[in-house]
Amino acid sequence: MSLFSLDGRRALVTGANTGIGQAIAVSLAAQGANVTCAGRRDCDETLEKIHAAGGTGEGLRLDFADPMAAGDVFDGAGYSILVNNAGIIRRADSLEFSEADWDAVMDVNLKALFFTTQAFARACLTAGNTPASVVNIASLLSFQGGIRVPSYTASKHGVAGLTKILANEWAAKGINVNAIAPGYIATNNTEALREDADRNRAILERIPAGRWGEAEDIGGTAAFLCSRAAQYIHGAVLNVDGGWLAR
């Protein structure tokens, strides 16, 4: 079997209805995983792409406004891959930022990620379903401060930290925990930036690769981190940013 094959693995990808989450789900399925596409909205388009390519998957409604939403998803279900992609953002000057916006972002981006991963790891270890893989979606703002997104920045710094502590605790138990920090990716969320000629030019001038990333760039990286080829990678936060942080 190829080092990169995911044949026989069952995966759950959160926020899989569009963009980066969709690309990750399709990439995992292309390597042979049976992928559960989870989201607060239907993931029908993602499933169509998976099935059209000959892959297998199903949908699952999960809304991480309730951080414990996935608490009973994993027991006895045979999952050995979890990709924590679901996330939200709120924008306002730090002097004006509200408690409600702080709590909403931290609940989805950090609290839900931790308790979902905890439930996944408990189920894997109870069932002896290892090796297992966790991939968290971090951000360039796991390293940088950003502007007008205090809770998002704090949550993504937290994602990087959780990735490392969980790797420390679980690497010897057969669970790989790593993260991807996407750069500027051409998705619906960045459409306004790409249509702003000045911002688009400034961003491209900073990226050594000279282009916006594609969601598939993140999908391929996630599939690699879930494969046997990455079995000795633990606690890494891998920048997939076209060289942005190197500039």
Instruction: Assign residue 26 the CATH number of its domain.
Output: 3.40.50.720
247 residues of the chain, pLDDT tens digit each: 799 999 999 999 999 999 999 999 999 999 999 999 999 999 999 999 999 999 999 999 999 999 999 999 999 999 999 999 999 999 999 999 999 999 999 999 999 999 999 999 999 999 999 999 999 999 999 999 999 999 999 999 999 999 999 999 999 999 999 999 999 999 887 888 899 999 999 999 999 999 999 999 999 999 999 999 999 999 999 999 999 999 9
Cβ–Cβ < 8 Å for 23, 46: no
53 domain-assigned: yes
Tokens describing residue 155: 């949550």
Number of domains in the chain: 1
Residues 193, 33: Cα–Cα separation, whole Å? 34
3 domain-assigned: no
Residues 207, 221: Cα–Cα separation, whole Å? 19
pLDDT of residue 190: 85
1 domain-assigned: no
Looking at 79, 152, 184, 232, which residue is catalytic? 152
169 domain-assigned: yes
15 domain-assigned: yes
2 domain-assigned: no
| CA 108 vs CA 63, 77, 137, 228, 229: distances in Å | 9, 23, 12, 30, 30
Report CA dihedral (52, 62, 8, 175) to the nearest 10 degrees: 140
DSSP state of 218: H
Q: How many residues does the chain have?
A: 247
Residues 50, 82: Cα–Cα separation, whole Å? 17
Residues 30, 55: Cα–Cα separation, whole Å? 6
Residues 87, 39: Cα–Cα separation, whole Å? 10
218 domain-assigned: yes
pLDDT of residue 225: 98
pLDDT digits (tens, 9 = 90+) for 155-196: 999 999 999 999 999 999 999 999 999 999 998 878 888 999
Contacts of 41 (CB under 8 A, 6+ apart): 17
Cβ–Cβ < 8 Å for 95, 44: no
Tokens describing residue 163: 């990735």
82 domain-assigned: yes
* Residues in a beta bridge with 30: none
> Is 152 among the residues known to form the active site?
yes
Range of the domain at 196: 10-246
Q: What is the 3-state secondary structure (H, E, C) of 64-105?
A: CCCCCCCCCCCCCCCCCEEEECCCCCCCCCCCCCCHHHHHHH
Cβ–Cβ < 8 Å for 55, 5: no
